[in-house]
Amino acid sequence: MKLVDLPDSSRMTALMELTQTLRNCQSPYEALLMYIRYLRYTNPGRAHVVLSTAGLLPGQYKVWRFLSDDGVENIEPCNPWENLNLPIYAGGNIARIIQNPTPHLVHDLDWSGDPHFAETFAPYRSLIAVPLFNPGLPLNWSIVLAREADYFTPTHLEESVMRATLIGSLLGSLHVTRELASANALIEADLTRMARIQRALLPDPIPDIPGLHLAASYETFGQVGGDLYDFIAPHKDTDPWCIFIGDASGHGPSAAVVAAMVQATLHDLAHHSAGPADLLQMLNHRLCQKRIEGSFVTAFLAFYNASTRQLRYASAGHPAPLLTSIAGQQTKFLSEGTGLPLGISDRSPFDETKIDLSPGQTLVLYTDGISEARAPDGSMFGSEGIERSLHNCGNNAAGVIDQLGKSLAAHQLGRRPNDDQTAVAIRVENQK
């Protein structure tokens, strides 16, 4: 193999420099200015015209740029992606040339009868006109003019078409990239606002329920999520408190919207139900009536009577809460009374169970983002991980949540969770 030494070529050097420069451009306008500078270098002593037909009627055009062959700019530069407030022309040689959107090579030009450029373009007797083959660009034609009547050749035209095709593709890509960046920024801002609103819907501060000490943690997979928890106060002291945790299927904004629907419905119906099973039935009926695009919601719902420490509860496909003894050594999962998740079938039955809580016991509610959290080797945290984390975790609910979070973090070892993670700890105090 023998590499052939190429003669020094200023045009090749300019093309390589243009390629490198365009690669670093941050905006289509910046790339366009670089391309025009390249044209001036490779076509010295020639005039350049750039046209726009975007949004105009057939035969109409705007002259965005006119650089005469003496290097004088005759039109004030502007960013065509931001402002193209220029005069609209129609008729004449240019209108005839651009009526057919294909490359043109023209000799023996006569501008004497042109309605707009009879004097301006009179010295130029030949041209090549190349459309920029990208419908998304605000500029559509690149024209190079010469004083000689037959200066340009088919080779000139072929080179111009190749350059125009490349620059048109690049400008289009830069414009799309810029538009995507702008759209992503708007989406990001909306998600940030949505996240603030979603967190504002959570109980803050957590209410004081007589005889209980409460704490909670709430971490979403993305900026917004489908987990929720809530505590609804009774109308009268003798009425029970409503305690709720839920998890809408999926992630992101769609799950957040469903979760917000559930929370609003919960507050609307909580004081009109006979118990947790009845309330789940009403929630399920409302969700089944709505078009939630195949989504569903798992939920655990309990009514707590502060005067008797009795907890009545029902579940809709939600992970069973964990009840521990005073020392945290004995545990029990409240797995009774589990029905289908909400929103699947309007005929799904829900059963409720009751239990009397004792001083020192802790009830931990959680979503499956915690129990199904994975370590780097793929192993799940599981219900066993939740049980282990509750051993010797202190004598208050905040200590339970803190220990659970530390155990979960140690299990995941920096691995990003693949779901929302929510936990609520309820510690029964010694005094009623």
44-50: long-range contacts (C-beta < 8 A, 24 or more apart)? 45/69, 45/146, 46/144, 46/145, 46/146, 47/121, 47/124, 47/144, 47/145, 47/146, 48/142, 48/143, 48/144, 48/145, 49/94, 49/141, 49/142, 49/143, 49/144, 49/145, 50/139, 50/141, 50/142, 50/143
Residue range of the domain that includes 297: 203-428
Q: What is the pLDDT of residue 251?
A: 83
Task: Give 364: exposed, middle or buried? Use CB within 10 Å, 0-12, 13-18, 19+.
Answer: buried
For residue 24, being part of any structural domain is answered with yes
388 and 276 in a common domain: yes
CATH classification at residue 169: 3.30.450.40
218 and 153 in a common domain: no
Q: Which residues contact 206 (CB under 8 A, 6 or more apart)?
A: 214, 215, 216, 231
For residue 124, being part of any structural domain is answered with yes
Q: Give pLDDT tens digits for 297-341.
A: 999 999 999 999 999 999 999 999 999 876 556 788 888 767 899
For residue 304, being part of any structural domain is answered with yes
Quick one: which of 370, 51, 410 has its CA closest to 227? Answer: 370
> How far, in Å, are 187, 245, 247, 364 from residue 422 at the CA level?
25, 9, 9, 10
Q: Is 279 helix (H, G, I), strand (E, B) or coil?
A: helix
β-strand 338-339 against 310-316: which pairing, if any? parallel
Q: Give pLDDT tens digits for 16-31.
A: 666 666 667 777 777 7
Averaged over successive runs of 10 residues, the pLDDT of the chain (432 residues) comes to 60 63 72 74 82 90 91 85 88 92 93 93 94 77 93 89 76 73 81 82 90 93 89 88 94 88 92 92 91 88 94 95 75 83 91 92 94 91 88 80 92 87 92 57
For residue 368, being part of any structural domain is answered with yes
